[in-house]
Amino acid sequence: MKVRRARSRTADLFAVDNPSAPRLPAAALAPTPPQGRLPQIVHPRQLWYAVQFPALPGIADPVPALERLARQAQRFTSLVSLEPPQALVLEIRGSLRLFGSAAQLHDEIDASWRALGLQAHSAIAPSTLAALWFTRAGSRVLVEDPALLAGGLAPLPVTCTGWDGARLQTLQSMGVRRLGELLRLPRAGLARRFGPDAVRELDIALARQRAPRRAFVPRERFRARCDLEAEIEQAAILEQMIAPLLEECAGFLRIRQAGIQGVELRLHHRSLPATRLRLGFASVTGESRRLRNVLAQRLQNLVLAAPVRALELVSGRLQPLSAASLNVFAGQGAAQGRDTAMQLVERLRARLGARAVYGVSPLPAHRPEAAWRRVHALQLAAAAAAAPGAAQFQPRPVWILEAPLPVAPADVAGADGPERIESGWWDGRGIARDYYVVRGARGARLWVFQERHSKQWYLHGVFG
């Protein structure tokens, strides 16, 4: 399609209003130039390509689709910005020397969308908003000179700005239907009626004010595959074959000063689907030793469904790696040879299963059986404070029975207490108990309570 170059159709479309008219404070308005002059163009060297996708077929959430298209657009420039839900913005000034003129680069990028079978409206302009407004209007325009922006935007409808319905309805009631009519309005009156953001957006569209864009950074992951010379039928041999992949992954993370909290090992077979082993870590790590230890524990109980012909290692999302301080008197060997609590959790989970090892987190409740919950997230947190509002007259045992056991009144002689707990009436499982700490026959400290209504005694917990 032939590119239509915009020509200037009007002179001063966004002039400064009468100096005698009242103005808003300078902090509330966009920068206002001296009397009789327009704001200077602040970034004439930038050139933006915007593309609008009217429909992304078969996609419920457009953001992941835009991210995939942004990775495709990074073939042409390193600065790609998302404009959800249906647009991308590319800074292409630095790519002109590689691809030729702006018109040639325009055709190259548009051809990439057609190769993907996507319908796209695109435009090139010296400002991000101007390029986006051209695409929303369906105009394939190429404007390189910022002085021609006002004339190119003048015939576009004001709906291409994407402003809210109330603002557009107000403009329509004023008889303003085109951007050219909007640009002729006095700046101070426009800011007073629609707010300083409206003036600032018009200045951005006309390349008179900067508008930094957040560059799209694709999620980086480690991924490597190793095809085996011979098929492996024993899981014990796999550990030696996977070791080079783990070392490569550790080097990949070390270069980026990053870590991971999960990794997936895929064992490819000849005819069956790949076996997937997901390994989790209690904290963010990039150490090859921790990767090997968790993998070794997982392979001990693995039964191969079929011989393995290829190995593939895929890491989780990269996370910042925080440095840890070592004890200067511990020695290098002691620091490397002793497992931390987090590594112990990793090894137990790899050997016993993810559901067999869990943590306990307190809940803000008075009833002991409802004041905690199991936490299966693979992480260790500092001991939480006591539940808000819970009485702390007596210590609470770590071991609480699933169901209280009845005891004889003679076994609770010398009880220390009571601690009265009366709660839960709102959900039909209310309790009214007096808790005591007593000494058992063998010297163990027991946590018992007496039902206030039945006067029966029960054992509910044991102190360590």
**3-state class percentages of the chain: helix first, strand second, coil last, to nearest 5:** 30, 25, 45
pLDDT in tens, 137-177: 988 999 988 889 999 999 999 999 989 988 999 999 999 99
CA dist 133 and 123 (Å) reads 9
CA dist 148 and 10 (Å) reads 9
**109-113, 136-140, 288-292, 427-431: least confident range:** 427-431
CA dist 447 and 460 (Å) reads 6
Q: What is the pLDDT of residue 110?
A: 94
Phi, psi (rounded to 5 degrees) for 323 = -80, 145
* Rg over CA atoms, the chain: 34
What is the CATH superfamily name and number for domain 223-349?
DNA polymerase, Y-family, little finger domain (3.30.1490.100)
CATH 3.30.70.270 fits 4-205, yes or no: yes
Q: What is the pLDDT of residue 33?
A: 39
What DSSP character marks residue 104?
A: H
Give the whole-number percent of the chain exceeding pLDDT 70.
Answer: 77
**Mean pLDDT (whole number) for 375-399:** 55
- Do the domains 4-205 and 223-349 sit in the same CATH topology, yes or no? no
- Quick check: 57 pLDDT over 80? no
**114-128, 341-355, 416-430: least confident range:** 341-355
Cβ pair 184, 151 in contact under 8 A? no
Average pLDDT across the chain, whole number: 79
**Domain ranges within the chain, ordered by starting residue:** 4-205, 223-349, 387-462
CA dist 452 and 458 (Å) reads 12
**Mean pLDDT (whole number) for 122-135:** 93
CA dist 438 and 186 (Å) reads 84
pLDDT in tens, 297-344: 888 878 888 999 999 999 988 888 766 555 555 444 444 445 566 667
Cβ pair 447, 460 in contact under 8 A? yes
